[in-house]
């Protein structure tokens, strides 16, 4: 491009006169615009650095006796000892950009470290697996979501997830439908999309023990954003109806996983600050960023009495669990090394939440922070 501009500037008229200053300016501007366009095109398609990094990693096989069966519309896990050890991860925020090699690698390394340290039977990721975005130099989210799929398959255990708001940003090259098709094709990923329900990845993972249902793990797509006016979307009528039918039909205790906190998290936090609600564990760092309503979902949760706890992510430095109307409303811990300013150098918020389900259905929640080498702390039984 530079050589082309140089040659154009040497052009002469038929009479031997050099081109006018005006033509020189136009030529230079065209060269600059062309160069910037080419650079932008290269910049915004990202690169495969982090995918190659994940492909080349050697990780531990952490399967200590978990098994699963899955189909297009069911997923069931069971273990040799009839207990289930679930690791909730959240807000991985893999970008896949030339600008984020270091932070992407830091996030991948943190995922490896926490899974190898906790050796879960099942991993549930509560959204924002990816964060491909123009300010960080990438709208081709394929590098990012295939990095997650490639990495998670290496541990030889079942895993699943819910989509977060950034997984479906409107400027991305690959939409949630495309991502869902990729993830569901992976051997160890239990995600599927229930029929006739809004969104992608609304599904149930059933934990069976002693030959019968123990606990249903229910995943709900947060649906991202409402664009007019711009705000976090709420759960749709079809999702609320599907949840109610599901817990009624299964007739067992359940846990609910989504990305954006329910509106009731804000109510619970206010009550806790007034001394009227119980903090189970974790810390309250910032406000609750939720939709303006849960569209009756929490009312259904309370009415049916099946769901003992709700787990979300989204607010990266909140990791608390508060008991509200008989339901534990829980944040996970985040992996994020890029989305919040300076967060790559902070560690207090980084980690996961461990959910242990006994053969008799007893549920115990712990934090597994990076600051404690991903060893469980602050255990509480629901």
pLDDT digits (tens, 9 = 90+) for 208-239: 998 899 999 999 999 999 877 778 999 999 99
Give the integer Cα–Cα distance in Å for 260 and 262.
7
Give the integer Cα–Cα distance in Å for 174 and 183.
13
Helices 142-153 and 49-56 cross at an angle (nearest 10°) of 10
How far CA 7 is from CA of 15, 20, 26, 31, in Å, comes to 18, 15, 14, 11
Half-sphere exposure of 184 (CA within 13 A, CB side): 22
Q: pLDDT digit string (tens) for 36-53?
A: 444 444 456 679 999 999
Residue 354 has pLDDT above 90, yes or no: yes
Helices 297-304 and 237-250 cross at an angle (nearest 10°) of 10
CB 382 within 8 A of CB 308: yes
Domain ranges of the chain: 2-38, 46-381
pLDDT recorded at residue 285 = 78
Average pLDDT of the residues of the chain:
90
Name the 3-class secondary structure at 66. strand
Q: pLDDT digit string (tens) for 142-170?
A: 999 999 999 999 999 999 999 999 999 99
Architecture of domain 46-381: 4-Layer Sandwich (3.60)
Helices 101-118 and 142-153 cross at an angle (nearest 10°) of 20
Name the 3-class secondary structure at 94. strand
């Amino acid at each position: 491009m530079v050589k082309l501009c140089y040659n154009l500037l040497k052009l002469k008229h038929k009479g031997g006169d050099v081109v006018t200053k005006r033509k020189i300016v136009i030529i230079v501007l065209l060269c600059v615009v062309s160069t910037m366009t080419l650079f932008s095109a290269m910049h915004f398609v990202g690169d495969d650095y982090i995918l190659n990094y994940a492909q080349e990693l050697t990780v531990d096989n952490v399967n200590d006796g978990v098994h699963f069966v899955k189909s297009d519309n069911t997923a069931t896990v069971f273990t040799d000892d009839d207990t289930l050890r679930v690791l909730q991860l959240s807000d991985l925020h893999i970008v896949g950009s030339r600008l984020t090699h270091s932070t992407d690698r830091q996030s991948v390394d943190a995922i490896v470290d926490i899974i190898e340290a906790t050796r879960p039977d099942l991993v549930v990721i509560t959204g924002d697996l990816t964060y491909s975005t123009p300010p960080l130099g990438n709208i081709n989210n394929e590098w990012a979501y295939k990095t997650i799929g490639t990495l998670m398959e290496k541990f030889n255990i079942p895993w699943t997830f819910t989509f977060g708001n950034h997984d479906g940003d409107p400027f991305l090259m690959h939409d949630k439908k495309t991502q869902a098709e990729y993830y569901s094709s992976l051997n160890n990923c239990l995600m599927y999309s229930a029929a006739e329900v809004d969104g992608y990845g609304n599904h149930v993972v059933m934990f069976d023990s002693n030959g019968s249902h123990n606990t249903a793990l229910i995943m709900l797509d947060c649906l991202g954003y409402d664009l007019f006016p711009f705000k976090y979307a709420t759960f749709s009528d079809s999702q609320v109806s599907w949840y109610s039918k599901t817990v009624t039909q299964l007739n067992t205790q359940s846990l609910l996983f989504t990305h954006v906190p329910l509106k009731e998290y804000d109510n619970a936090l206010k009550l806790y600050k007034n001394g009227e609600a119980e903090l189970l564990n974790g810390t309250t760092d910032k406000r609750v960023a939720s939709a303006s309503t849960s569209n009756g979902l929490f009312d259904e949760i309370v009415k049916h009495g099946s769901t003992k706890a709700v787990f979300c992510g989204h607010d990266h430095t909140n990791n608390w669990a508060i008991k509200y109307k008989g339901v534990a409303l829980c944040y996970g811990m985040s992996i994020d090394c890029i989305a919040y300013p300076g967060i790559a150098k902070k560690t207090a918020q980084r980690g996961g939440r461990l959910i242990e389900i006994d053969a008799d259905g007893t549920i115990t929640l712990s934090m597994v922070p990076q600051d404690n080498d991903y060893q469980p702390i602050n255990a509480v039984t629901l």
